[in-house]
Amino acid sequence: MTSTIKVNTITTESGSTLTVGGCGKTVALASGASQTGFGRNGAVDWQTTKKTANFTATSGEGYFCDTAASGAFTLTLPSSPSAGDIVGLKDYNGNFGTANLTIGRNGSNLNGTAANKALSTNNLSLTLVYVDATEGWIPIEEGTGFVGEAFVCASVSGSCNTIVTCGDYRVAVFKGPGNFTVNSLASSSPNNNADYVVVAGGGAGGTGDPGGYTGGAGGAGGFRESPGTATCYTASPLGASPAAAITLTAQAYPITVGGGGAPSPTPTFGGNGSVSTFSTISSAGGGGGGGGNSPCNVANAPGRNGGSGGGGGSSGSATYPGGTGNTPPVTPAQGQNGGTGGHSSGGTASGGGGGAGAAGTAGTPGPAPSPSSLGVGGTGVGTLILNCSSFGTPGPSPARFFAGGGGGASNNCLTNASAVGGGGKGTTNTSTGTAGTDNTGGGGGGGVLSPTPVPRVGLAGGSGIVMIRYKFQ
């Protein structure tokens, strides 16, 4: 037999302790009733029905989120929260690294920032508490399992090499040779995947003939990039087939950073750039530009093959092709072809070097006194693997650009220009050219061998760079 007692206040007869219920008994809060004054002590009521699609959370509840069932989705936090509101979540089956769960802030800050947060850590459990309008929702408990998740721990060696922190990721940047040493691995296999950008040295520009025939521009060093394991940056646009990330093991990875090709002081082609390597990834050096053609220099006039092809040298009677890019071939392609050298009985212009993003253009014939148009270097490509002003060159987007082709030369052209991605300028009758920019893999500008006022030979290619991105927390 039960009974109902109706009172407004229950208080103790003496002392400060009020006991409700007895040993072995249950004190229940009626369905639909609310309570105040007891507090939650940081706990949430876990909902046993897992979530597989977009939903809005309720304060005081925790949710098991299954992104493997139907792909990534969004948990939207409660609107107009009050201080002390609390929400919990758990990666139901360890799939956040593959299909992210996004926390929708619903008008409130997340940890002091007015931005949603994509969760990409497998097996993550997280408790969020609303504090105030400034900080908004902040994490008070975070874990990835019974004993916590381990992530990749790595170090670098070699002069000028460094590690840069970017959110939950670090990027090892190699400007020269060294070792990337993985000291320990992550406890979750997907977190052992590392993304990369590997850029080889650019080719040197060819040197022109004293008769006025100009040397072709150097091609850019090969550019290879994996697409990103956490959708944090834009991958290379060089092919439709994505490149696979590298699965790290606990070892030292020797890193090779290719140097730029060297020009010749005599009328001949420029030297190819050198190879850059990381693990199984090898990027080919850029092809050297062809030399200006004279009767004894025919074999030296075509551009050389490489990561991107060098531009063809100019001639008085024939056209000489640019070198072939993506040599040796890989998928996606690591670079593009060089431009064809121009020819005429008067002023001549050589071909531009190929870039990772576009082929070099041909030199345009222009009999004197009409000016010829030197070949333009192919543009490089941009990456957001590490958006830092210290590396690469600015471009038309927030990305930093690498592997631009060098510009061709002309003996009667007044203007020249460098290519986006570190490609150098070609020589004209009024200006000297420029070398490819170091640590971009840019090709060097083509040269004009003229005895007056000073000899202007082809220009050196820029050295390459290697960047490795891995999850450290």
Q: Write out the DSSP string of 163-183.
A: EEEETTEEEEEESSSEEEEEE
CB 302: neighbour CB atoms within 10 A?
30
The angle subtended at Cα 177 by Cα 238 and Cα 252, nearest 5°, is 90
Q: How many residues does the chain have?
A: 473
State phi, psi for 200 to the nearest 5 degrees: -85, 170
Q: Please, are residues 274 and 461 in contact by the beta-carbon 8 Å criterion? A: no
Q: What is the pLDDT of residue 202?
A: 98
Q: Please, are residues 385 and 225 in contact by the beta-carbon 8 Å criterion? A: yes
State phi, psi for 242 to the nearest 5 degrees: -70, 145
Spatial neighbors of 142 by CB under 8 A, at least 6 apart, are 124, 125, 126, 127
Q: What is the pLDDT of residue 431?
A: 82
> Six-digit token pair at 188?
């979750």
Q: Could you tell me the residue ranges of all domains in the chain? A: 45-143, 150-473
Fold of 45-143: Jelly Rolls (2.60.120)
Print burial letters for 448-470: b (CB count within 10 Å at least 16), e (below 16). bbbeeeeebbbbbbbbbbbbbbb
Beta bridge partners of 113: 110
> Six-digit token pair at 371?
């000016």
Q: What is the pLDDT of residue 146?
A: 45
Indicate yes or no: pTM above 0.75.
Answer: no
Q: What is the pLDDT of residue 239?
A: 47
Q: What is the pLDDT of residue 173?
A: 95
Q: What is the pLDDT of residue 252?
A: 96
State phi, psi for 68 to the nearest 5 degrees: -75, -25
Could you say which residues of the chain have pLDDT below 70?
Answer: 1-2, 12, 16-18, 20-42, 142-149, 228-242, 294-297, 344-347, 365-372, 387-389, 414, 450-455
> Six-digit token pair at 347?
């002023």
Q: How far is CA 47 from CA 35, 73, 163, in A?
A: 19, 18, 42
Q: What is the pLDDT of residue 436?
A: 97
